[in-house]
Structure 1
Amino acid sequence: MLAAPVDAVPDAPGLIHEPKWDGWRCIAFREPDGVYLQSRAGRNLTTYFPDITRAVRTLPPGVVLDGELIVWERGRTNFALLQRRVTAGRALLRLAHDCPAHYVLFDLLADTGGEVVLGLPLSERRARLEQLLVDAPTQLTLTPQTTDTQQVSDWLVNWTVAAGIEGVVTKRLDSRYDVGRRGWWKFRTRLVTEAIVGGVTGSNRSPLTVLLGRFDRRGRLRYTGRTHPLTDAQREQLGGMLSPLNPLQHRTAAMVHPWPEPLPASWSGQLERPEPLRYVQVEPTVVAEIDADVAFEHGRWRHRVRYARARPDVSVYDVPLLLGEEGSYFGEP
């Protein structure tokens, strides 16, 4: 079951709210002879999470669970450590020992013995899930739920930065589980902020998307993310402000461009790695106002951001520092 994006947290009788965890969605099948972990896209994750399969083995055969795989580091979810499970190779068992994963559970698809419970209301599926987890290992965690809008506000204001959640998922207590249907709602915490234009796809006169950066504490411009495609009006406005950075300009440019071209595939932060990204480097003197969510790792936004407009009134030196190096996430002192 999936969640449709919304611009505000729904508030009506019969609704329940849960934190939206920053991890990998996973369905766990407790089979008679073992455990099978499946990603949202249908990928087999079993071999990458021996610690989770061991924990799920303690549950009765036939059980099918829905939840989110996460890894904690110093009290906050760390998406990069989650990704390392796929590339760890022979170091996987050591990684699982040093940085154990947790499986945050929020639904039950089949109960003990394989009893399918998709048609039961969420409130009853939740009650059964709670009972299943009474004596379960600590790595199997039940996600919090609330009907209190004040609690939801606390999650959005405090948990997004401190714990690393992305927002809130809202569900109907009387809803059945419809596989593949968007019957839930998800609200992502977002903020309006600024970043420096360091490159574009397309051309500098007609940019399609924008590659963004911020300075770190040493004054080096670091790549922080990429925008969604620009509108025609945005392309026209920004294209008239960009200056190309070619080899002959490096000595006279306001700042030397520090990013490789093409942009490495690993910088995208996705599970399925794309090809290296060809782009046009520009002189990093233009500031862009953007709308971004709060999911970031290694100083980069993991999801594409929304480009709003250029800010010729703002100096690149007034843009907040690299994500994680500001006084606070929101760039406040």
Structure 2
Amino acid sequence: MTPVRPRARAAEVPGLRRPVAPMLAAPVDAVPEGPGLVHEPKWDGWRAIAFRDTDGVYLQSRAGRNLTTYFPDITRAIRVAIPPGVVLDGELIVWERGRTNFAQLQRRVTAGRALPRLARECPAHYVVFDLLADAGGQVILGLPLSQRRARLEQLLADAPGQLTLTPQTSDMRQVTDWLVNWTVAAGIEGVVSKRSAGRYEPGRRGWAKFRTRIVTEAIVGGVTGTISSPETVLLGRFDRRGRLRYTGRTHPLTTIQAVELAGLLAPPRLPRRGAVAHPWPEPLPASWSGQLERPEPLRYVQVEPSVVAEIDADVAFEHGRWRHRVRYAKGRPDMSVHDVPLLLGEGEDPFGTPSP
């Protein structure tokens, strides 16, 4: 993402100086339990720290970049409802048909002159989960989370709907409901766990995050490296028309996985007259990766799409692709490519429908 410099720098209130490194969460394999822990949904959006300055609002990304220009709807809501000096931490999201839509966030960056129309048609929301500085610029990083949360609740009591306080619970039954029902219905990625007595420590991984994951299958369409020594795997699924569509890429394989997969792979067969040898271009277009920063075409080796891979993926599946890399588990020589779930349309479950 290319940083955008504002035309005029808003006057800052004495207090926290930007950029501020946000507090982070370390990945865990299970939601931690115990006294003094609270849990919040992990939203599928862009992390943003919001500075309410004397004469405006500044939105900072997790990496310290300026997001202000892309979210005039959010800056307007903060300017109206939040007093100068306040610094908020939260997630920028866009709702579409009751579910978060990450692609609509990405469209903000490339919208250009269409940005005002896009903001009207697909308004963003700022889901707030922490308060770093109170009115007047009073820095409260050292207060326990429970006290910061109480002040945040009071601050957002009369805020417009676009500024939302994230749910928080210590009840594991509520956490289970989020993971079972909200993951599919609302598009959350998992749960973030925090200590209610914990202070806010910029840049430190002092929280824990559990991502909801699924085990499913995909078709191997290509590899980086070589067929005899694959490094990562390019995956696909058939759509309803029988076309193999690219759906994502794996993390690097282990040595054992690479040897096992190499024994299953073969180069593409020679095509019939008038047909193509492989349904994907080589190199893979940069736009297919969904990355915004320094996108480059991906060189890879095409293979005969006859091998099924079992994979472990998170639930960030959008527009027919996994946004994050998936984990390769093993090859499934016992399965046909026609046993793999079809690539379905928007709003349909991408995980459980085998092809006919």
TM-score, normalization: structure 2?
0.90
The AA in structure 2 aligned to 1:66 is D
How many pairs align? 331
Q: Which residue of 1 aligns with 2:286?
A: 265
Unaligned 5+ segments in structure 1 are none
Residues 1:295 and 2:291 aligned together: no
The AA in structure 2 aligned to 1:56 is I
Q: Which residue of 2 aligns with 1:109?
A: 132
Q: Which residue of 2 aligns with 1:227?
A: 250
Deviation (angstroms), 1:152: 0.6
What secondary structure sits across from 1:102 in the alignment?
strand
Aligned equivalents of 1:47, 1:121: Cα separation in 2:
33
Residues 1:201 and 2:224 aligned together: yes
Aligned equivalents of 1:142, 1:155: Cα separation in 2:
16
Q: Verify the 8 A CA contact 2:84 2:135 in the aligned structure 1.
A: yes
Change (3 A) 1:203 1:326: farther
Aligned equivalents of 1:7, 1:251: Cα separation in 2:
47
| Deviation string, structure 1 residues 282-303 (Cα, Å, up to 9, x no partner) | 1100000000000111110010
Q: Verify the 8 A CA contact 2:90 2:127 in the aligned structure 1.
A: yes
What secondary structure sits across from 1:159 in the alignment?
helix
Aligned equivalents of 2:247, 2:351: Cα separation in 1:
15
For 1:83, which of 103, 106, 115 is the aligned residue? 106
Aligned equivalents of 1:153, 1:324: Cα separation in 2:
28
Aligned equivalents of 1:318, 1:273: Cα separation in 2:
36
The AA in structure 1 aligned to 2:164 is T
Q: Verify the 8 A CA contact 2:341 2:350 in the aligned structure 1.
A: no
Deviation (angstroms), 1:21: 0.2
Change (3 A) 1:145 1:328: same
What secondary structure sits across from 1:275 in the alignment?
coil
Residues 1:180 and 2:181 aligned together: no
Deviation (angstroms), 1:251: 2.2
Q: Verify the 8 A CA contact 2:221 2:304 in the aligned structure 1.
A: yes
For 2:79, which of 33, 44, 57 is the aligned residue? 57
Aligned equivalents of 1:93, 1:319: Cα separation in 2:
42
Q: Which residue of 1 aligns with 2:116?
A: 93
What secondary structure sits across from 2:288 in the alignment?
helix
Aligned equivalents of 2:174, 2:271: Cα separation in 1:
52
Q: Verify the 8 A CA contact 2:42 2:190 in the aligned structure 1.
A: yes
Q: How does 1:1-333 map to 2 (within 5 A)?
A: 1-58=23-80, 59-245=82-268, 249-251=270-272, 256-322=277-343, 324=345, 328-331=349-352
What secondary structure sits across from 2:143 in the alignment?
coil
Change (3 A) 1:85 1:117: same
Change (3 A) 1:318 1:204: same
Change (3 A) 1:167 1:77: same
**Identity of counterpart residues, as a percentage?**
82
Q: Verify the 8 A CA contact 1:255 1:284 in the aligned structure 2.
A: no
What secondary structure sits across from 2:231 in the alignment?
strand
The AA in structure 2 aligned to 1:50 is P
Larger mean CA deviation between 268-277 and 19-28 belongs to: 268-277
What secondary structure sits across from 1:286 in the alignment?
strand
Aligned equivalents of 2:347, 2:308: Cα separation in 1:
17
Q: Verify the 8 A CA contact 1:255 1:283 in the aligned structure 2.
A: no
Change (3 A) 1:5 1:22: same
Aligned equivalents of 1:74, 1:113: Cα separation in 2:
38
Deviation (angstroms), 1:84: 0.2
Aligned equivalents of 1:272, 1:41: Cα separation in 2:
12
Aligned equivalents of 1:325, 1:265: Cα separation in 2:
22
Q: Verify the 8 A CA contact 1:320 1:326 in the aligned structure 2.
A: no
Deviation (angstroms), 1:218: 1.3
Unaligned 5+ segments in structure 2 are 1-22
Aligned equivalents of 1:235, 1:276: Cα separation in 2:
23
Q: Which structure 1 residue ranges, 4+ long, deviate > 3 Å from structure 2?
A: 323-330
Deviation (angstroms), 1:325: 6.9
Deviation (angstroms), 1:16: 0.4
Deviation (angstroms), 1:145: 0.6
Deviation (angstroms), 1:135: 1.4
Deviation (angstroms), 1:270: 2.4
